[in-house]
Amino acid sequence: MKQLLLLSLLWLSHSIGFAQNTEADQLLGVWEPSNGKARVKIEKIGEKYYGKIVWLKEPIDPNTGQPKVDKNNPDASLRTVPLKGYRMLKDFKYLGSNQWDNGTIYDPENGSTYKCIIKMTDNNTLDIRGYIGVEALGRTDVWKRLNLKK
Amino acid sequence: MGFGQTDSLQQEEDFSMYENLNFADKGAKRFCTPKVFDLSPAKLISIGFDHQGAFDVDYGHWKDQNGNHLSDLKQGDFQGAGGLRISANIPVISKTNVVLQAGINYARTAFYANSNRNLNPLDATLKENGLSTAGLSTTLFKPFNEEHFMIVQASADLNGDYATKNITPIKYTRYSSAIIFGKKKHDRKMIGFGLSRTYRVGELNYIPVMLLNWTAPSRKWGVEMLAPARVNIRKTISPRNILLFGYELEGNSYRILHHQLTNGTENLSNIELRRSELRIRATWEASLYQFIWMSLQVGYRYGYSFNLDQYNDGKEFFRGFTGDQPYLQENKMNGTWYAQLSLNLVSP
Amino acid sequence: MKYYFLLSISFLILCCSCGEATKKTYRINQIDLTVEGPLFDGPNTLQATHVIDLNAIEPNLKADQIEAVKLIKANISTQDSIGFNNIRNFVLQLTSSDAKMEKVAVLNPVEKNLKEVTLNPSAESELLDNFQQKEIILILDADIEGDSENNLTYQGNFEFEITYKK
């Protein structure tokens, strides 16, 4: 009886853990910000989620003729990092209730990093809110999930 | 070995495949944003001081409704003028298909002069009370699709000869608004046209407006314009360091209440000061630390209007460009240099 | 009187020097950074996990004694016959479970005909929070030309400057 109880408890905790993992992993995939200028792939490293730029509508810098790099980074020694492959969403942890928090979003246009919270409003839609200090002082962008063309 | 097991990095993908993707949701739409590249940052919270150098005011004859003049021509010299300017503009709704901002602002101008002089009642209240304006505003940015958008802006201002006490009663609020329809052709250009109801010339007027935000392909220069109210040419030294050259027309209609303005037998009421200033200036804006920016502005303040009106029956009247209703007192505020320094929290 | 004065001064100096910061180099030698195939044209992510050994810096050193950590050297080498001829650029990041990911070095572009390259460390990245965890993950993004079915392994040699209070 005791063994059965123990086994049931083990199975239950494993199931709950597995279910939570699946819920958090709903964030994985390729997403497009509202302006359509880039596509971002969200992946998991360790227990945290990161988003990297996998496609740019205009990948070449018209001033240099070369692939775009992170030329506005406040750290001058990192200004040669290419934008394709750039991890602009970093360090997100799943909080439950379709929210991922404690992360940051980087804007290569001006080299600014903002605190960020991600809310999944439905399976194909994310509210990505970058803010300064408090959530009220920020801007929300709606990202849509992308799938391979059939 | 904890980390490797839950990674999703095991399988790498061909980056070229990211070209051939569709929205998972069939009805998803793209919208344009309210910004172009390198636009000077929007100020969420701003605290600053404005100071003008010494100047004269040529006070005109003060005429009553029958055209009889009640005071003589006089000139008043001021050692300077200025005061605190604070504002907050917070995005209340900030989504891809609508942005709504709510704002509050306060600006004070104290006038510094020899307190013993006694030129005329307007001069007396300027010295004693100065001028203040406090207002609420709201701005709506509504993109229709990737290219077309609409901006609607409205504000309510309480202006008068008050400092912190004896604030002008609410019933003297002045309302302004503007509506613009525009097109954002690409990330370096947005242009729009519309109409505004404005007090920037000191009194109520309806004027067409043009919005142009443009950035050169080199990303070193740009134009930020909401003409005729404000025009700036921008030089981008770096994303955190910019220079702006241009002008702004600032103005409002102030209810003058705390005065000894009489017609000889009784205090006159319903007096409005039509104040308008054209400021030609250079501005330096730079990031001190992340989103905390400073702004230093230096220029020349040209006095566009400083006349007094009296409302008959207490009702506002419209003069526009063609009206010829006489002013109660026609004054000229002569020009001087000015400087403005502010600390700002800027928006993402 | 003079004797007591000198004694007090010496005591003060001794106390001050007890709190002085020490700098030492922490090395991660010949760590394998790997990614499984197939690999495709573009950035591919190699990674390695390293357990931090504070005793290697100073016996019984505690994490809270560390004041600052900077990457000072990052070398990547390969045994492949083609060397790094198919690599356009490298970006190195460092992360751990309870600290933020930091971008620490970059080499763009990667020159041809080399089997060992030195990345340029970031002047400003601060790795203190990462080094106070038990493990760190080194993440090397390699921008690869062309596709390949194979796994990829490069060797990394890294040096960190650790500033700590004794």
Of A72, A125, A149, the CB nearest to B21: A149
Of A75, A80, A90, the CB nearest to C124: A75
Confidence at B257, pLDDT banded by 50, 70, 90: confident
**Interchain CB distance below 8 Å, C49 and B1:** yes
Q: What is the pLDDT of residue B262?
A: 57
User: Does A81 reach chain C within 8 Å, measured CB to CB?
Assistant: yes
CB count, 10 Å around CB of C140?
A: 23
Give, for A39, the enclosing helix (H) or strand (E).
strand A38-45
pLDDT digits (tens, 9 = 90+) for B111-121: 999 878 888 88
User: Which residue carries 């909080």 as its tokens?
Assistant: A95
Q: What is the pLDDT of residue C37?
A: 79
pLDDT digits (tens, 9 = 90+) for A33-82: 988 889 998 988 888 999 999 889 889 998 889 999 999 888 999 999 99
pLDDT digits (tens, 9 = 90+) for B133-181: 999 999 999 999 989 999 999 999 999 998 777 788 888 899 999 999 9
**Interface A-B: count of C-beta contacts within 8 A:** 129
Q: Which residues of chain C are at the B interface, by a Cβ-Cβ cutoff of 8 Å? A: 35-45, 47, 49, 97, 135, 137, 147
Q: Is B56 in a helix, a strand, or coil?
A: strand
Supply the mean pLDDT for chain B. 88
User: Which residue carries 């001069």 as its tokens?
Assistant: B123
Q: What is the pLDDT of residue B348?
A: 73
3-state DSSP: chain C helix, strand, coil percent, rounded to 5? 15, 55, 30
pLDDT digits (tens, 9 = 90+) for C31-89: 999 998 778 788 889 999 999 999 988 899 898 899 999 999 999 999 999 999 999 99
Q: With contacts defined as CB-CB under 8 Å, which chain A residues touch C100?
A: 90-91, 104
B195 vs B69, which has greater pLDDT? B195
CA-to-CA dists, residue A48 to A44, B24, B278, C3, C20, angstroms: 6, 24, 54, 62, 36
Q: With contacts defined as CB-CB under 8 Å, which chain C residues touch A47?
A: 97
Q: What is the pLDDT of residue B115?
A: 75
pLDDT digits (tens, 9 = 90+) for A72-113: 888 999 999 999 999 999 999 999 999 999 999 998 888 889
For chain B, percent of residues with pLDDT exceeding 70: 89
B 235-294 → A contacts, CB under 8 A: 238-240, 290-291
- In B, minimum Cα distance to C34 occurs at B10
Question: How far is the C-alpha of B264 from the C-alpha of B239, rounded, in Å?
Answer: 61
User: Does B64 reach chain A within 8 Å, measured CB to CB?
Assistant: no
pLDDT digits (tens, 9 = 90+) for B18-62: 777 777 777 667 888 888 888 999 999 999 999 999 999 999 987
Q: Suggest the residue from C72, C103, C124, C136 to mutate for an interface test with chain A (most A CBs closer than 10 A).
A: C103
Give one word for B219, left, alpha or beta, with left for phi > 0 and alpha for psi -120 to 50.
left
Domains belonging to chain A, first-starting first, are 2-146 (2.40.128.520)
pLDDT digits (tens, 9 = 90+) for A1-28: 766 665 555 555 444 444 556 889 999 9
Q: B48-69 burial string, b = 16+ CB within 10 Å, else e?
A: bebbbbebebebbbbbeeeeee
Q: What is the pLDDT of residue C10?
A: 66
Q: Which chains touch B (3 or more CB pairs under 8 A)?
A: A, C
Q: With contacts defined as CB-CB under 8 Å, which chain B residues touch A107?
A: 348
**Interchain CB distance below 8 Å, B24 and A147:** yes
B183 vs B37, which has greater pLDDT? B183
Q: Which residues are registered as beta bridge partners of A90?
A: A104
Asked whether the beta carbons of C52 and C136 are under 8 A apart, the reply is: yes
pLDDT digits (tens, 9 = 90+) for C104-161: 999 999 999 999 999 999 988 899 999 999 999 999 999 999 888 889 999 999 999 9
**Interchain CB distance below 8 Å, B12 and C47:** no
Domains belonging to chain C, first-starting first, are 21-165 (2.60.120)
pLDDT digits (tens, 9 = 90+) for B187-207: 899 999 999 999 999 999 999
**ipTM, two decimals:** 0.78
Confidence at A148, pLDDT banded by 50, 70, 90: low
Confidence at B5, pLDDT banded by 50, 70, 90: very low
